[in-house]
Amino acid sequence: MKNTLLDELEHKLNSRQKKIVLMNNCLLALYTNQNVLCAQYCDKLLAKHPDAAETVALIKAVSLSKDNKMTEAVRTLEEYSKKYPAKQLYIRLAASLRENEKVLHSYPEEEKALQCKIVCLLQLNKFDEALQTFNKYSEISDNLYFEKAYCHYRLNNISKALETINESEDNSLRMKELKAQVLYRLENYEECFRVYKDVMKNTHDEYEDERETNLAAVIRHRGTGPIKQNIYTAILKEKPQDIALLAVANNNMAVINRDQNLFDSKKKMKNTLLDELEHKLNSRQKKIVLMNNCLLALYTNQNVLCAQYCDKLLAKHPDAAETVALIKAVSLSKGWTTESSGESTVAAKSLEELLKVQPDDKKTLAQLVIAYAQFDAKKALALSKKLPQLDPVTDVDVLESSNWVMGAKVIV
């Protein structure tokens, strides 16, 4: 990069090129910890290209923070940059963290400094380090049960999180809601239900919709269907602005309806495929929503659409291969009895893949025999010999049926 700063280049490069060259020299000085040189390059860049003010502010702030000049770093960002709120927050947290570490080092019994440090670590997602800090200052961490339980929860130490909560006498709203989440993860739905009911009875704020959705999920596990249906209906009537909440409610309402009102379910599930949801739902939720759209297309005999959804599900979630194989096989099996289907060979292939996953599934084997019977009698006969011998009074209609009974859809 030294060769990019020759005076001879002043009239050889255009304005944009000179700006980029200077910017890269700033970054190189930053990466090589030449903080004084970095500041000089930044000043030169700002003088020649005032439109680079935000970039200069960011580079200078990072350089200052690396030099432990946290106060100056924050001031630099506040003065120049309005475009990097996340970076400002990070540097502010880092500055606060360093200051609290200094206080704790000098005054190891300062509880407020410990609490501030823990909050900074939580905001920076440094949960392991937070727990280590608790252990180091165990004498003054007695009042930080929530923070400690939250660390265990985020690190997936769910039982330890509940143990920590139960050790505390903290009955605050945040502790109750954390306890409800912990109980849900531990599949203790009865106790979780009681905690949520208590929270909702004594709290009225902007998070009521989210709590109702969480409560409905708990109720689903408790088996009280009519109640959860009323909750989802109430949520949908309110038309919440949160599209993720709306998508989850629509998905779960369609699941409750099952095949009772397919037209209504189609309308509801349409709202679960909006592009805006890509960053609103987590991976598990997106997988379940896609899976339920596959099943809805299957139930409404939209076989082409079903195949498209299945391909999309498999592409985004390879671990759903078994589910995709099953849905595709059922979709294809629906057309076996019609002369126009011509899909028997494809169906047989799908069933063979499914049989590899479930080699002992006699129902799948029976369906494979039916598929081959459409175009390869010899193969069908050979496979039929692997089926168990039937008792004379056995109802063979079950084995001869060309349609399967699928299980229930999944609630997010």
| Cβ–Cβ under 8 Å, residues 233 and 270 | no
Nearest Cα neighbor of 115 from 141, 89, 96 is 141
pTM of the model: 0.40
Q: Is the pLDDT of residue 92 over 70?
A: no
CA atoms within 13 A on the CB side of 205: 7
What pLDDT does 322 receive?
80
DSSP state letter for 389: P
**Residue ranges of the alpha helices (H) in 239-343?**
243-257, 262-270, 283-299, 303-316, 321-333
pLDDT in tens, 225-248: 565 666 667 667 767 666 776 777
Structure-token pair, residue 45: 């860049």
Q: Tell me the torsion sign for CA atoms 305, 308, 310, 312.
A: negative
What angle in degrees, to the nearest 10, is found between the helix axes of 321-333 and 303-316? 170
Provide the 8-state DSSP code for 396. Answer: T
In this structure, of 61-70, 74-83, 188-197, 211-220, the range with the lowest mean pLDDT score is 74-83
CA gyration radius, the chain: 31
Q: In the predicted model, what is the mean pLDDT of the chain? A: 72
Q: What is the dihedral of CA 65, 68, 72, 74, to 10 degrees?
A: 40
Supply φ then ψ for residue 142, to 5 degrees: -65, -25
* Structure tokens belonging to residue 401: 């049926």
Structure confidence by residue, pLDDT tens digits, 284-330:
778 888 888 888 888 888 888 888 889 988 898 888 888 888 788 77
CA gap 1, 41 in Å, rounded: 12
| Mean pLDDT (whole number) for 350-364 | 74
As a whole number of angstroms, the distance between CA 412 and CA 404 comes to 24
305 to 253, 268, 297, 380: CA distances (angstroms)? 21, 17, 6, 30
pLDDT tens, position by position, 179-199: 999 998 888 888 888 898 888
How far apart (Å, rounded) are the C-alpha atoms in residues 211 and 207?
A: 6
pLDDT tens per residue, range 128-150: 988 988 888 777 667 788 989 99
